Amino acid sequence: MSTFVDDDTRVVVQGITGGEGNFHAGQMIEYGTNVVAGAVPGKGGQEAAGVPVYDTVSEAVDAENADASVIFVPPAFAADAIFEALDTDLDLAVAITEGIPTQDMATVNKRLSEVDTGLIGPNCPGIITPGEAKLGILPGNIFSEGNVGLVSRSGTLTYQVVDNLTERGLGQSTAIGIGGDPIIGTSFIDALGAFEADADTDAVVMCGEIGGEDEEQAARFIGEQMDTPVAGFIAGRTAPPGKRMGHAGAIVSGSGTGTARSKIDALNDAGVPVGDTPEEVADHVEGFL
- The catalytic residue positions are 247
Q: 3-state DSSP call for residue 264? A: helix
Greatest C-alpha distance within the chain: 56
Picking from 70, 241, 233, the residue whose alpha carbon sits closest to that of residue 165 is 233
Asked whether the beta carbons of 262 and 270 are under 8 A apart, the reply is no
Q: 3-state DSSP call for residue 250? A: coil
Q: What letters, b where the CB count within 10 A reaches 16 and e where it falls short, cover 39-63?
A: bbeebeeeebbebbbbebbbbbbee
d(CA 267, CA 261) in angstroms, rounded, equals 10
d(CA 229, CA 39) in angstroms, rounded, equals 40
Picking from 116, 60, 107, the residue whose alpha carbon sits closest to that of residue 86 is 116
CB contact set of 126 (below 8 Å; sequence gap of 6+): 70, 94, 96, 120, 134, 135, 136, 137, 138, 177
d(CA 163, CA 113) in angstroms, rounded, equals 35
Beta bridge partners of residue 53, listed in sequence order: 38
